[in-house]
Amino acid sequence: MGVILVYDGGFEGLLCALSRSLEEGEAPDDILPVGAGAQGSLFADQVVVEADPECAMRMCSRVCECVSRRALRKCLYAFLSEEEGREVRILEYLRLGFQVGAEVDSHLHRDFVRAVRDMARRTAHEAHRMRGFLRFRLLDGGMYYAPMEARCDVLRLVAPHFARRLEGQDWIIHDLVRGWAALCRGGEPSFVEMPELAVDLCERERRVQGLWRDYFRAIAVAERRNPRLQKNLMPERYWRMLVEIPREH
Amino acid sequence: MDLEEKLRILGGAARYDVSCSSSGVRRPARAGKLGDCARYGVCHSWSDDGRCISLLKVLFSNHCVYDCAYCANRASVSRPRASFTPRELADLTMDFYRRNYIEGLFLSSAVWVSPDYTMERLLLTARLLRQEEGFNGYIHLKAIPGASPELIRQAGIYADRMSVNIELPSEGSLRLLAPDKRKEDILGPMGEVAEHISANREERKRFRRAPAFVPAGQSTQLIVGATPESDLRIVELAEGLYRRYGLKRVYYSAFVPVSDDPRLPRLESPPLLREHRLYQADWLIRHYHFTSGELLDEERPQLDEQLDPKSGWALRHPEFFPVEVNRADYEELLRVPGLGVRSARRIIQARRVHSLDFEDLGKIGVALKRARYFITCRGRYYSGARVSEEEIRRNIGTLCGTSRGRAGKANQLRLFGDDGGLRGVEDAITSASGEI
């Protein structure tokens, strides 16, 4: 009879589930966030693993000491990719990591090492795109607001970037997909749940957006028009966030 | 004239400048200042021509006293003219930056009144941004040919990058098409900036807090196809600029006909494929340790449009191949067509723990389409035996999507090859994701 581990859906919870598997040397059939495994399985017992911050912290230091800090970061990024099946891949990756140490990242001929690397890269790439594609709008009242639709859960990765660079500016980055937001009024950003929000642009904002659209049109060289290249580099799924792209998209 | 109109005119006038790079400098956030710069740079958008937008790239003015034949803003042509004020530009930059549209400002200009007058306007704008507005983002300033050394030195204190566009790759062409500019006017400022940069580097070794001078280095731009220079001349010139002036980038701009001046060639469309091949050659020189002499010589002064320059070199040097992926060093791997910096690093990393065969290479993400003709895995060729040069040429030629007859079309579609030439922000993704 196999086992399915069920965790709370957060990274800490996952670390606790991983820690349990690694310590007991068991190979669970699957590791699932709560909710996803609700339909149950005839052939496996579901075991709920409680999230325990201390256990998660211990696991973090063990990974840093016995594998590498880089490996821990990679696990976090792979987790944030939200890809299905990532939990078991991360488990396999760490199991090998505890055997061979920091060298685990060289084992690229193994599927799970590549899978973890690719998922982590996808998250990092998505975070980088958000650093470029987020557009803040100035609202009545002086708050800058940026809606975000990202494929991976990158809010925590991008918020510090904007906290550093937009010094003295109050802002919100609203993750529309996951219903939460980063809020910054000087200092460290805080994270809050935020389902939906109706925003009122101020008059000045409309003018600045118009100027940006004028610029966007003016800078293209007509003789070199190349929409396919443009879409390769800036996929259409992001266009809704961009104020420079005309409405029909 | 309202600001909207000015932005349309002066943004449009700047579009033939290729560079939009915001990389190469780390400018950490500082208390009370707005902005920071990441070393890897950030692209914020891509325009309809597929070129990245990282900076607000505008001319300060398009009133020009010069009459260069290749230029859309030359004095003798009648077109709408405008000039910004430093205040307008500072406000635009701040407004765009706060909304995350841009990484900073790229300010160029036509020569308005005189070189010194123009350079002063650029300097005033940069000073306003840095000192009054507390702007800590990226600033790229043009050094106006013929401006006084003192103005250029002052501008370099505020700028992250400076550039002087050479535009025409030889003195003869310059005399013909840009009679108001002299070679010394262009190379003078470039040399001064280069000297200040290297002096500043020494100074900062001793005094770490000494202010940085043009920390992201210099770049320049060459127009390709307006004059008869060969690829050999162009690549040699670029190589010389990298060596002698320590330039960070040379940009190539396929000539877009903007007038029917009889001194200019008639072209149906800009020579985009030639521009692409030049970027590939440039990449080989900067990142793959090739020299111009290995790519071109007096007998073969043009790059092969049907074949990328690295494959061309490989086919001329059969004695270098095959390269055994499990033993070859990094430099040897870099010489293999189809293997880039990332693939070479991955091979070296993976083979530490496991001897690689072709299947493994595919798994770790190494593209074999071109490489397979030039490598062996554990002593074996991909197809069992060495493939003849003609066959390789035939197969690689089609792969490049540039076989005869389709060249024009293919070239439109596949401009973004493995050189990233038009991306502007160099290796942005690679560095940002840190190859994790």
Q: If you count them, how many residues does chain B have? A: 436
Of A189, A198, A192, the C-alpha closest to A169 is A189
For residue B383, what are the domain limits? 309-399
User: B325 — contact with chain A (CB < 8 Å)?
Assistant: no
Does B81 lie in the same domain as B110? yes
Report which of B426, B429, B431, B410 is spatially closest to residue B276, judged by C-alpha positions: B410
A159 shares its domain with A202: yes
* B335 in any annotated domain: yes
- Closest residue of A to B101, CA-based? A135
CB atoms under 10 Å from CB of A210, counted, come to 14
Task: Look at residue A215 and tell me if it is in a domain.
Answer: yes
pLDDT band at B289 (very low <50, low <70, confident <90, very high): very high
Q: Is there a single domain that holds both residue B290 and residue B382? A: no
Residue of A215, A217, A229, A230 for testing the chain B interface, max B β-carbons within 10 Å: A215
- B433 inside domain: no
Same domain (yes/no): A15, A108: yes
Whether B276 and B346 map to the same domain: the answer is no
* Best residue of B57, B101, B363 to probe chain A, by most A CBs closer than 10 Å: B101
Is A110 inside a domain boundary? Answer: yes
In this prediction, residues B51-62 reach a mean pLDDT of 95
Between A112-126, B16-30, B147-161, the lowest mean confidence (pLDDT) is in: B16-30
Which of these three, A98, A125, A152, is where a domain ends? Answer: A125
Cα dihedral sign for B66, B69, B71, B75?
A: positive
Mutate to test the interface with B, among A67, A165, A244 (most CBs of B within 10 A): A165
Q: Which of B354, B428, B436 is nearest residue A121 as measured by Cβ atoms?
A: B436
| CA distance linking residue B89 with residue B127, whole number of Å | 12
HEC profile of A172-233:
EEEECCCCEEEEECCCCCEEEECCCCCCCECHHHHHHHHHHHHHHHHCCCHHHCCHHHHHHH
| Greater pLDDT, B319 or B435 | B319
A164 and A189 belong to one structural domain: yes
Tell whether A109 and A159 lie within a shared domain: no
Among the partner-chain residues B8, B50, B272, the one whose CB lies closest to the CB of A233 is B50
At residue B16, the pLDDT reads 86
Look at residue A52 and tell me if it is in a domain. yes
CA distance B264 to chain A (A): 17
Is there a single domain that holds both residue B287 and residue B319? no
Select the residue from B7, B40, B47, B103 to test the A interface by mutation, using most A Cβ atoms within 10 A.
B47
**Same domain for B135 and B217:** yes
Which of B53, B98, B354 lies at the smallest CB-CB distance from A136? Answer: B98
Q: Between A121, A212, A228, which is nearest B96 by CB?
A: A212
Q: Specify the DSSP class assigned to residue B27.
A: B
Is the predicted pLDDT of residue B405 greater than 70, yes or no? no
Task: Specify if A249 maps to a domain.
Answer: no
Q: What is the pLDDT of residues A126-149, one digit of tens each?
A: 999 999 999 999 998 899 999 999
The chain B residue lying nearest A170, using CA atoms, is: B98
Q: Which of A100-114, B117-131, B257-271, B356-370 has the lowest mean pLDDT?
A: B257-271
Cα–Cα distance for residue pair A176/A181, rounded to 1 Å: 8
| Chain B residues touching A136 at Cβ < 8 A | 98-100
Spatial separation of the C-alpha atoms in residues A92 and A114, rounded to whole Å: 11
Question: Where a domain ends, among B295, B322, B345?
Answer: B295
Q: Do residue A215 and residue B99 have CB atoms under 8 angstroms apart? A: no
| Contact residues, chain B, for A164 at CB < 8 Å | 28-29, 36
With an 8 Å Cβ cutoff, are A103 and B429 in contact? no
Residue B413 has pLDDT above 50, yes or no: no
Q: Are B212 and B115 found together in one domain?
A: yes
Are the beta carbons of A229 and B416 separated by less than 8 Å?
yes
Backbone dihedral angles phi then psi of residue B220, each to the nearest 5 degrees? -150, 175
CA distance B128 to B134: 8
Could you give the CA distance from residue A144 to residue A173 in angstroms, rounded to a whole number? 9
Q: What residues of chain B lie within 8 A of the CB of A170, using their CB?
A: none
Identify the CATH number of the domain in which residue B43 sits.
Answer: 3.20.20.70
Sheet holding A2-7, edge to edge: A30-33, A2-7, A44-48
Mutate to test the interface with B, among A96, A104, A133, A211 (most CBs of B within 10 A): A211
For residue B436, what pLDDT is reported? Answer: 38
Measured at the CA of A159, the angle between CA A153 and CA A164, to 5 degrees, comes to 155
Q: Are B270 and B18 in contact (CB under 8 A)?
A: no
The answer as to whether A247 is a domain residue is no
Clarify whether residues A121 and A150 are in a common domain. Answer: no
Tokens representing residue A63 in the block: 């990974």
User: Are B27 and B160 within 8 A, CB to CB?
Assistant: yes
Contact predicate A67/A101, CB 8 Å:
yes
Q: Assess contact for B314 and B336: CB atoms under 8 A.
A: yes
pLDDT at B261: 83
Distance from CA of B275 to the nearest CA of A (A): 12
Please say whether the beta carbons of A34 and A6 come within 8 A. yes
Which of chain B's residues have a Cβ under 8 Å away from the Cβ of A249? none
Q: Which of A103, A216, A225 is opposite residue B45, by nearest beta carbon?
A: A216
For residue B375, give both structure tokens.
Answer: 């490598």
Tell me if A125 and B51 make a contact (CB, 8 A cut-off): no
d(CA B58, CA B50): 18
Question: Residue B426 domain-assigned?
Answer: no
Q: What would the pLDDT profile of B76-95 be if each residue is shown by its tens digit?
A: 989 999 999 999 999 999 99
The pLDDT of residue A248 is: 62
**Is residue B366 in a domain?**
yes
Kindly state whether residues A38 and A116 are assigned to the same domain.
yes
Which residues in A lie closer than 8 A to residue B93 (C-beta atoms)? Answer: none
Count of CB atoms situated within 10 Å of the CB of B26: 12
- Does one domain contain both A6 and A70? yes
Q: Strand pairing partners for B375?
A: B323
Chain B, residues 131-150, CB within 8 A of chain A, namely: 137
* Same-domain status, B196 and B61: yes
CB-CB neighbors (< 8 A) of A74 in chain B: 436
C-beta neighbour count of B402 within 10 angstroms: 24
Residues B165 and B104 placed together within one structural domain of the fold: yes
Question: Does one domain contain both A58 and A120?
Answer: yes
Residue B413 in any domain: the answer is no
Residues B323 and B183 in one domain: no
Contact yes or no for A230 and B8 at CB 8 A = no
**Nearest-CA residue of chain B relative to A125?**
B433
Which is more confidently placed, B111 or B408?
Answer: B111
A13-27, A35-49, B143-157, B188-202: least confident range = A35-49
Q: Is residue B88 part of a domain?
A: yes
Chain A neighbors of B16, CB-CB under 8 A: 221
Residues of chain B neighbouring A144 (CB-CB closer than 8 A): 98-99
The chain B residue lying nearest A208, using CA atoms, is B95
- A119 and A194 co-located in one domain: no
Q: Containing H/E element for B428?
A: helix B428-433
Given a cut of 70, whether residue B432 has pLDDT beyond it is no
Instruction: Find the closest chain A residue to B273 by CA distance.
Output: A224
Give domain status of residue A178, yes or no: yes
- Tell me if chain A has a CB within 8 Å of the CB of B398: no
Q: What is the pLDDT of residue A40?
A: 58
To the nearest whole number, what is the mean pLDDT of chain B? 87
The boundaries of the domain holding residue A180 are 134-241
Residue A117 lies in a domain: yes
| Interchain proximity A221–B14, CB inside 8 Å | no
Query: Does B412 lie at the interface with A, CB-CB under 8 angstroms?
Result: yes
CB-based contact A165 B35, cutoff 8 Å: yes
Beta carbons of B354 and A109 less than 8 Å apart: yes
Interchain proximity B432–A117, CB inside 8 Å: no
Q: Quote the pLDDT of residue A236.
A: 94
Is A116 part of a structural domain of the chain?
A: yes
Write out the DSSP string of B356-417: --HHHHHHTT---TTGGGTEEBTTB-TTSSPPPHHHHHHHHHHHTT--TTTHHHHHHH--S-
Number of helices and strands (H, E) in chain A? 8, 8
Is 70 exceeded by the pLDDT of residue A94? yes
Instruction: Give the minimum alpha-carbon distance from A7 to chain B in angstroms, rounded to a whole number.
Output: 26
Task: Tell me whether residue B419 is in a domain.
Answer: no
Given A77, A108, A125, the domain boundary residue is: A125
Tell which of A125, A153, A188 closes a domain. Answer: A125
The size of the A-B interface in CB pairs under 8 A is 192
* Domain identity same for B283 and B325: no
> In the structure encoding, which two tokens stand for residue A76, read together?
């976090």
Number of domains in chain B: 2
Q: Do A229 and B92 touch (CB under 8 A)?
A: no
CA B432 to chain A, closest CA, distance in angstroms equals: 7
C-alpha–C-alpha distance, residues B111 and B117, integer Å = 8
Minimum-distance CB partner of B346 among A108, A137, A146:
A108
Same domain, A163 and A119: no
Q: Is residue B167 part of a domain?
A: yes
The CA distance from A107 to the nearest CA of chain B, in Å, is: 6
pLDDT in tens, A48-82: 999 999 999 999 999 999 999 999 999 999 999 99
State whether A106 and A152 are in the same domain. no
- Nearest residue on chain B to A204, judged by CA atoms? B95
Is B318 found in the same domain as B271?
Answer: no
Q: What share of chain B has pLDDT > 90, as a percent?
A: 68
| Residue B424 scores a pLDDT above 60 | no
Strand partners, B252: B222
End-to-end CA gap in chain A: 51
Q: How many domains does chain A have?
A: 2
Q: What is the mean pLDDT of residues B45-60?
A: 95
CB contact under 8 A, A219 and B429: no
Domain co-membership, B339 together with B291: no
Round to the nearest angstrom and report the end-to-end CA distance of chain B: 51
Q: Mark whether A87 and A143 lie in a shared domain.
A: no
